[in-house]
């Protein structure tokens, strides 16, 4: 039995310490609880502990949970998994955020499919920062063009960048990779004033990510236990 409430408290303390260590304000860092494959009961416990932002990797499962908690209008749902074109409508109609945009076609579909009565969908461009063949995301040199195209779409708001670096246990090497993301994020901000979100850092590399300016850490295991 993992104590979700205690785990959330521990993670929040960890975020605070990591932020203070590098002279940042802890409140500038959002904790995204990654609830994929976890039952609604676990999410309910997290909500009871004050958690409001949740990340889902699988469209269908995420939509079911969003519907389950539809009586709560204070929750924010992030889609953080790879998105296939045939599932884009479900994301456009149900989620508040999509972190994994890596091609214009998907962005166009999300914009077209976003219902008129909903606020624009907040989107992040996924960067394949470690250049891994198997990972989704674009290379940094393609960012300028994709950002311009997404920024022109009416029902999306480009809010920033997201990355899932290759697993790396050495904290110095973690920082080296995250610094590249931080620089790209700061460059993008100079062109688009609404850019405010740098989604990077998970249970094992959260501290390095916070050191490098992450504004949102995606934590699953440390909150809900191993899958």
pLDDT at residue 210 in the model = 98
CB 47 within 8 A of CB 75: yes
CB 47 within 8 A of CB 66: no
Q: 174, 220, 198: which is closest to 34 by C-alpha? A: 220
**Torsions phi, psi of 125, nearest 5?**
-90, 130
Q: How is residue 217 written in tokens?
A: 């850490």
pLDDT at residue 134 in the model = 83
CATH of domain 4-224: 3.20.20.10
Packing angle, helices 40-48 and 59-68, rounded to 10: 50
pLDDT at residue 135 in the model = 85
Q: 7, 21, 18, 31: which is closest to 202 by C-alpha? A: 31
pLDDT at residue 207 in the model = 96
How many whole angstroms separate alpha carbon 110 and alpha carbon 85? 9
How many whole angstroms separate alpha carbon 150 and alpha carbon 105? 10
pLDDT at residue 227 in the model = 67
The tokens 């295991």 sit on which residue?
221
How many whole angstroms separate alpha carbon 126 and alpha carbon 54? 18
Q: Model-level pTM?
A: 0.96
Please name every residue paired with 126 in a beta bridge, in sequence order, or none if there are none: 162
Measure Cα distances from 133 to 59, 136, 145, 174, 200 in Å.
Answer: 23, 8, 21, 19, 19
CB 159 within 8 A of CB 122: yes
Regions of the chain with pLDDT less than 70: 1-2, 227
């Amino acid at each position: 039995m993992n104590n979700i409430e205690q785990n959330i408290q521990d993670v929040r303390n960890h975020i605070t310490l990591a932020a203070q260590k590098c002279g940042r304000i802890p409140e500038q860092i959002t904790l995204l609880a990654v609830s994929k494959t976890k039952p609604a009961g676990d999410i309910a416990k997290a909500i009871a502990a004050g958690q409001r932002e949740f990340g889902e990797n699988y469209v269908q499962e995420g939509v079911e949970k969003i519907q389950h908690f539809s009586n709560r209008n204070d929750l924010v749902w992030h889609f953080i998994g790879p998105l296939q074109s045939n599932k884009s409508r479900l994301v456009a109609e149900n989620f508040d955020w999509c972190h994994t945009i890596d091609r214009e076609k998907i962005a166009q579909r999300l914009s077209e499919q976003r219902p008129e009565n909903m606020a624009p969908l907040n989107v992040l461009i996924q960067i394949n920062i470690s250049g891994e063949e198997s990972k989704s995301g674009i290379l940094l040199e393609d960012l300028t063009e994709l950002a311009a195209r997404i920024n022109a779409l009416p029902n999306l708001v480009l809010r920033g960048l997201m990355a899932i670096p290759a697993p790396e246990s050495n904290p110095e090497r973690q920082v080296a990779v995250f610094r590249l993301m931080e620089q790209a994020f700061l460059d993008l901000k100079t062109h688009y004033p609404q850019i405010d979100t740098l989604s990077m850092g998970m249970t094992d590399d959260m501290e390095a990510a916070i050191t490098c300016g992450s504004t949102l850490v995606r934590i699953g295991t440390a909150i809900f236990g191993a899958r």
